[in-house]
Amino acid sequence: MNLGPHTLRNNVFVAPMAGVTDRPFRQLCKALGAGYAVSEMAASDPRLWSTPKSVRRLDHRGEMEPRAVQIAGADPATMALAARYNVERGAQVIDVNMGCPAKKVCNAWAGSALMADEPLALAIVEAVVAAVEVPVTVKMRTGPAPGRLNAPALARRFESAGAAMITVHGRTRACGYRGEAEYDTIAEVKAAVRVPVVANGDIDSPQKAAQVLARTGADAVMIGRAAQGRPWLFREIVHFLATGETLAAPTDDEIHRLLAAHLADHYAFYGEFTGVRTARKHVGWYLAGRAQWRAAAGAFNAIDTPRGQLAAIDDFFGALRGRGSGTGQPDGAANDTDYAGRQAA
């Protein structure tokens, strides 16, 4: 499918998730089949652009194109300024955040709170579209609350304002992440506009992706929380949509290699101090549900060096293969040399 001048590899996308979809994670998901990924949301307030967190969120070096940056804010002029700032630094698509339900975002009347103020929401999209020459997309929810599902009406207005694609999460702002996503409103959005529509929410398997596409008529699906610790989900969905066949689950050896490589890239991106701390959640997602991990998690989370974490991961998978507490490192797993090389690069 096309997004402005960009031809996307497929219609299975990575959702923007704060604290998750950093450059290493986006790159891994793309390498495993995702056709498109959107960055963590970047603040529109210029006073925050030079903070370490913002600098990392705007780092797209070496990333597979197109490079999409999501911006969040509640002032049209500031959002326009943020869009230009990001395009000047390599963004090829700007996504406007009207989907985040987090209190700290909504309390500032940004994110999904904007859907309750339709004139302001429209003014922001108009300002951003006028400010940049790259495609502008919008990610939103079905409405402010179950009794006010205004996504179809807003989608029509965003399309008229120049939005190139619209993503809809099948919950309202008031719902947060509670309950089940509903897809009828997404179908109404698809019927209301001509630009591509992306369905998001509770898509956690190849079969569910196919069902949601059929039910909504959407052009693509966007995967969020289900991909945490399961980046291979993208290739599984792409394969199933293309063939109707289910790929075999990854082996423990492959998961070991993917996790070790992800961690090495993660440490190189964040540095050792921040990297080991932010890596813990990713490791927990990869290994969640394993009885062996429940016993090992506490000790792992006390490790404070990259090499220590990598060694513990090697030991964990070595034990799964019945090798006791030895290194158990398969071919292709990251080791001290791999990490040092990535760090130097």
**Active-site residue list:** 100
φ/ψ of 194, rounded to 5, equals -105, -20
List the one residue out of 150, 85, 79 whose CA is nearest residue 112: 150
Q: Report how far residue 310's alpha carbon sits from residue 317's, in angstroms, rounded to the nearest whole number.
A: 11
- Give percent helix, percent strand, percent coil of the chain, each to the nearest 5: 50, 15, 35
At residue 36, the 3 state secondary structure works out as strand
- Crossing angle (nearest 10°) for helices 233-243 and 206-216: 60
User: Is the distance from CB of 101 to CB of 125 less than 8 angstroms?
Assistant: no
**Other Cβ atoms closer than 10 A to 295:** 9
Task: Return the structure tokens found at 139.
Answer: 């990610």
CA dihedral angle for residue 228, residue 231, residue 232, residue 233, rounded to 10 degrees: 50
SS3 state of residue 292? helix
Distance between the two ends of the chain, CA-based, in angstroms?
34
CA pair distance 210, 165, nearest whole angstrom: 20
- Going by C-alpha positions, the residue among 81, 82, 183, 79 that lies closest to residue 122 is 79
Q: Give the single-character DSSP code of 11.
A: S
Q: Which helix (H) or strand (E) holds 167?
A: strand 165-169
Do the beta carbons of residue 139 and residue 70 sit within 8 Å?
yes
What backbone torsions phi and psi does residue 324 show, to the nearest 5 degrees? 70, -135
Q: How far apart are CA 307 and CA 309, in angstroms?
A: 5
